[in-house]
Structures are given as C-alpha cells and as structure tokens.
Amino acid sequence: MMIMEEGIKKRILSVKDTVKIKVRVDDTDLMSVVHFKNYLSFFDMGFVEFMSAIENPVESAVQSGIVFPVKKLEITYEESAKFGDHIIVETKIKEIGEKSMTFLHKILRDSDNALLADVECVRLVMELKSKKLLNVAKFLTKYV
C-alpha cells in the first residue's frame, strides 16, 4: 500500500490546474477593486477545479460525507483586480502529508499576466459525521 500511496502522491504533485473567472461588480469594494475577502472564493474555485482535474470531484466527496476544512491560509496581495477583469487561478499541490494537503494558488490578471495574489493553503480531509481526519493518500487512492 505504501508504494501505491507514494505513486499517487507523485502523480498528484505533478498536476497543475487553471480556471478563468470574470470579476463581477459585487466582487468589488468602494475603491472599485476586488475586496480582499473575495479572493478566498477565487481560491476555493481553484481548489474545486483542481480536485475535479484529478478525478476527485468535491461534490461527490461532500455527498459521501467528506469535507476539506482549511487549517491554515497565508495570502500575499500584489495587485488588484477590477470589475470586468478576467483572472486566472492556477492551483497545484505543494505537499501531501498524512492528514493534510498544502495547496499553492496564484491569481493572475489574464490581460497582462500580472500576479495579483499568491496563497498557500493547508486543507484537511475530514469525515463530517465523526469529525475524524482521514489519511490523505489513502483517501485519494479511491479516486485516482
């Protein structure tokens, strides 16, 4: 099982996914730029798309009682997105631990490829009903 888990980790660590999003007016604040809290939604969209790319749709996991709570989040804002901009969220996994996955997300403005925000996000895999943390590699072997 350990060799299979290492193979799964290696495969998943090589995946990089992107999703394109158009900034809506209600994503912005009084300065007409994306409000800082809305970047969290963009990162979540990146997470959901990434999991679908590795054949592990979040919807299926949630329907079976598995959730992915955030344990730690570190964001660096570089520039601002504005209403009407198209942004690209790039997502990959930096590290797979026993009980957590560390995701790296970048948000880029599509028109000039400017880096808008960078995030490192640690997510857990948890059985909702029991609140039990699951072994990440074992969980992922069901889907990849």
Average pLDDT of the residues of the chain = 91
Using one digit for the tens of pLDDT, what is the confidence trace for 72-115? 999 999 999 999 999 999 999 999 999 999 999 999 999 999 99
Number of domains the chain contains: 1
Where residue 95 sits, what CATH number does that domain have?
A: 3.10.129.10
Structure tokens given for 48? 């959901």
> Domain limits at 109?
2-141
Rg (alpha carbons) of the chain, rounded to whole number: 16
* 86-96 and 16-22 beta bridge pairing: antiparallel
- How remote is the C-alpha of 61 from its chain's centroid? 15
User: Average pLDDT, stretch 108-131?
Assistant: 97
Q: What's the pTM value of the predicted model, to 2 decimals? A: 0.89
Does residue 3 have a pLDDT over 70?
no
